[in-house]
Amino acid sequence: MSVFDFLFKYKPVVYEKGHLAFQLLASPWLYIPFLLAAIAGAWYAYRTVNREKWSAGMVALRAATFAILLFIFLRPVLNISTVLPQDSYLAVVIDNSESMTIREDGKESRAEQLQKQFEATTFFKRLNDKFRVRTYRFDKEAERIDDPGRLTFAGKRTKLESATDLLTQELSSVPLSGVVLITDGVDNASQQWTESLAKLETRKIPFYTVGVGSDRIAQDAEIVKISAPRDMLKESTAVVDVSLRSRGFAGRKAILQVRENDTLLKTEEVTLPADGEITEKTIDLPTKNEGSRLFSFSIQAQGDRIEQNNTLDSLIRINNDHPQILYIEGEPRWEFKFLRRAMQDDPNIKLITLLRSSQNKFYRQGIDNEQMLAEGFPKKRDELFGYKGLIFGSIESTFFSQDQLNMVVDFVSSRGGGFMMLGGRNSFAGGRYQNSPIADILPVVMTADDRVPVIDKLKMLITDYGKSHPLMKLTPDATANQKMWNDLPPLSDFNKTLEAKAGSIVLAKGQAESRNNGDPVLLAYQRYGRGRSMAFTSGSSWRWQMEMDHEDQTYELFWKQILRWLVSSSPDPVMLTTDKDTYLPGEAVNLLAEVSDKAFSRMNNAKVTGKITDPSGNTETIQFDWTGTSEGQYQTQLSAGVAGIYELQVEATQGTQSLGIHRTSFQVKDRPVEFYNASLDARLLENIASQTGGRYYPLSKLGDVPEDAQYVEGQSSFVEQKELWDVPILFILLCLTLSGEWFWRKKKSLA
């Protein structure tokens, strides 16, 4: 028995749900005149006493004594609605998912603690004395069970709405007095939980929620999320962000490992964050092997209580494509020559160059046929949009028509292409781009005052952000990487710009030999619409090749990384995506195809057909339907089958013409999602109880539920009177007021 129960005779729930009344009064409000009379009587009793010997405190104590006596003599009661025994139903809904097997203290699992409480409190026997009890278990699905011994705690997901939906279905026509929901509060599968709960709320059915487990697991490190590109170009570097969360390990070191097909690729040391916080670790992964590659990331911290949440996978599709980049120069120069040479041995990037040799004459290299770029820079969208990247060298803006300049802007914003401008005497403000549409997509601000390139020696200094960016990593070792940049020969010129735009990323600045030129922006980029743009304001990076050892590959590596990154996110006319890369068996796989023509105008009248190949090599054809709401978007859904990697191919056609083919993949794996973010979600359970008029209990108070649940209003309830005149606290207060007044009077020589 608690102290409250001893002092007030009944449990708190009785006072919460009961209504005060007096057996000798028609209304409890009539007690107020009696209270005023008690105060007046106390004052009257002291009015003849010498004013110097009594005080208001004595009057208050006597008034309190009179008030308590009146309260007792008027026979106070609490009227509370109580269920008639065996006349209504009570549902007991128990979490049957794997998270209930977690051993937070390293000894007993949550399920074992629950079973002990069931036995210690004779929980079901006491409920059966009052109600017709219906017991259910739930994980991803819910079902009725006759015996709590049928709980397996093996469910792969927790879906609260499955339980409420089943209760609505099975108990809609019976008098349901309440629902006892026993869970750790982790809900990772519900989609319409609020709507499902509302159906029971309208019947005013209270939920008595019982939280199992702790909201502060003593020691747990987990990988929360893997952010990785879904598609990468072969021989590129995938930048993967690993999000980590921990409890009880703040400031301690842990080991992060990366594997591919059980082969260890990388090991990194990480510092774990403060309790509940999330930190990120960036991992650079070389993508050498073509096809769907499965990378596994795992964290190892000594003393970790939940090892099941230490690993997450990421599926990256490595494509052996040959994206085309169009590079246009207005004059022959060293940068053009060396950049072409650097990309000659790249097996994936196809650099097509257009060099103006004289007025209206061009030297074309890398073309597929004689008609390609025969008239110079493209004048039609479908011709320009066939490229994924575009580089402007030293060529003035007046060379292009207004339509062509606007088309370049659309190339970036709508088509999603990559654009780059190189420094030179006819670049940036020198090419009068500050007043052209190109100014909008560049990551730097230009002014007409800086039309002439600055001739000055300057070192390329990597910014703090640039030091961690994969574009600026010439070698994986950070110290060696910085030394390689420091050892590079200085550049000899740059186009001066005012500043980088808000939202752009500056990767490198220059340190000029003449300090009058400040620290100009050398390399910066920004997102623009669906695409990205970059500015390299110098035209003399070729000096790195000329002045370094002939075997040094720094220049080649730098430009290969830049050009690969420039086109890495450029979409194709037909794109296929899944809503995630890993699914549980039986889970719904949502497929979305985006279809455009060669000019990247969305197509709503295409025929979209997919082929899915399962891990055993069996192929099935599926059809996509236009969403009806989004331009050029087609969707379908399928159910994840057996574990393994599934290959997908989609083709869109219009009549006999193919608009394009795209491939992607996804993984089906029975991963332990129940062990991620596995702390008790007490707040959710408290909200459910409060919202429905019930009450929340920690597991240690499970024994209070059978008694508390009987106090509920309903068709199967009657009003029970709980007498209050003999509540111990009243007699204690009466003794305190009487003795207090007596001692005070004694002190004043009035006793």
Q: In this structure, are 452 and 584 located in the same domain?
A: no
Q: In this structure, are 383 and 520 located in the same domain?
A: yes
Domain of residue 413, CATH code: 3.40.50.880
Share of the chain above pLDDT 70, in %: 98
Alpha-helical runs (H) found in 156-283: 160-170, 193-201
Domain of residue 261, CATH code: 2.60.40.10
Q: In this structure, are 273 and 138 located in the same domain?
A: no
C-alpha count within 13 angstroms, C-beta hemisphere, residue 235: 13
pLDDT for the residue numbered 10: 81
Share of the chain above pLDDT 90, in %: 56
Q: In this structure, are 559 and 578 located in the same domain?
A: no
Residue 642 lies in a domain: yes
Domain count, the chain: 5
pLDDT for the residue numbered 539: 95
pTM for the model stands at 0.76
Q: What is the 3-state secondary structure (H, E, C) of 440-481?
A: HHCCEECCHHHCCCEEEEEEEEECHHHHHCHHHCCCCCHHHH
pLDDT above 80 for 516: no
Q: Name beta bridge partners: 418.
A: 389, 532
pLDDT above 90 for 401: yes
Q: In this structure, are 709 and 648 located in the same domain?
A: no
> Using 50, 70 and 90 to split pLDDT, how confident is the model at 751?
low
Residue 497 lies in a domain: yes
What is the span of the domain harbouring residue 311?
220-283+293-315
Q: In this structure, are 582 and 650 located in the same domain?
A: yes
Q: In this structure, are 660 and 690 located in the same domain?
A: no
User: Model confidence over 685-695: pLDDT tens digits?
Assistant: 999 999 998 99
Among 634, 668, 702, the domain-final residue is: 668
Which segments within 203-333 are labelled E, that is strand? Answer: 207-211, 220-227, 231-233, 236-247, 253-260, 263-271, 278-287, 291-300, 311-319, 324-329
Q: Rounded mean pLDDT of the chain?
A: 89
pLDDT above 60 for 347: yes
The conformation of residue 390, written as its DSSP 8-state character, comes to E
Q: In this structure, are 231 and 279 located in the same domain?
A: yes
Q: In this structure, are 112 and 199 located in the same domain?
A: yes
- As a whole number of angstroms, the distance between CA 161 and CA 138 comes to 9
Q: In this structure, are 444 and 526 located in the same domain?
A: yes
pLDDT for the residue numbered 698: 94
Token output for 432 = 């009068």
pLDDT for the residue numbered 53: 57
> Using 50, 70 and 90 to split pLDDT, how confident is the model at 617?
very high
Residue 77 lies in a domain: yes
Domain of residue 191, CATH code: 3.40.50.410
Residue 371 lies in a domain: yes
- CB neighbour list of residue 553: distance below 8 Å, 6 or more residues apart: none
Q: In this structure, are 698 and 609 located in the same domain?
A: no
Residue 673 lies in a domain: no
**Range with lowest mean pLDDT among 323-337, 503-517, 658-672, 735-749:** 735-749
Measured between alpha carbons, how far is residue 550 from residues 141, 223, 293, 483, 546 in Å? 67, 45, 35, 19, 8
Q: In this structure, are 364 and 402 located in the same domain?
A: yes
Residue 674 lies in a domain: no
- CB neighbour list of residue 117: distance below 8 Å, 6 or more residues apart: 123, 699, 700, 702, 703
Average pLDDT over residues 485-513: 92
Contact call for residues 642 and 586 (beta carbons, < 8 A): no
